[in-house]
């Protein structure tokens, strides 16, 4: 008989936040309405916010995305500042 593996434990770190009364009421409402814990709602909110921020992206990442899978322009290594400047201005 093989030994049973214990389930993977997730280490969590406590965080204290201060909420305005309206935000606390909203958090409590969401917890009741969804059946999720307040902590899980906050975790999902953080992840959703991070996804929205990542969606905006930086001009540098947009520049690299534009060039993904394509030929790099002649002289991009030497003139990278000029190429990046044009990418910033076009976004």
In DSSP notation, 17-81 reads: ----HHHHHHHHHHHHHH---HHHHHHHHHHHHHHHHHHH--HHHHHHHHHTTSPPPTTTTTTHH
So where are the chain's domains? Answer: 17-56, 58-91
Residue 72 contacts residue 43 (beta carbons within 8 Å): no
CB-based contacts of 84: which residues, under 8 Å, 6+ apart? 59, 60, 63
pTM, two decimal places: 0.51
In this predicted model, what pLDDT tens digit does every residue of 45-83 receive, in sequence order? 998 888 777 766 677 777 777 777 777 778 878 888 888
d(Cα 37, Cα 34) in Å, to the nearest integer? 9
């Amino acid at each position: 008989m093989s030994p049973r593996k214990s389930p993977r434990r997730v280490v969590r770190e406590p965080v204290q936040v201060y909420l305005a009364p309206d935000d606390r009421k909203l958090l409590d409402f969401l917890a009741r309405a969804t059946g999720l814990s307040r902590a899980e709602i906050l975790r999902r909110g953080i992840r959703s916010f991070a996804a929205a921020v990542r969606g905006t992206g930086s001009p540098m990442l947009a520049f690299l995305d534009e060039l993904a899978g394509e030929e790099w322009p002649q002289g991009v290594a030497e003139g990278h500042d000029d190429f990046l400047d044009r990418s910033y201005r076009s976004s």
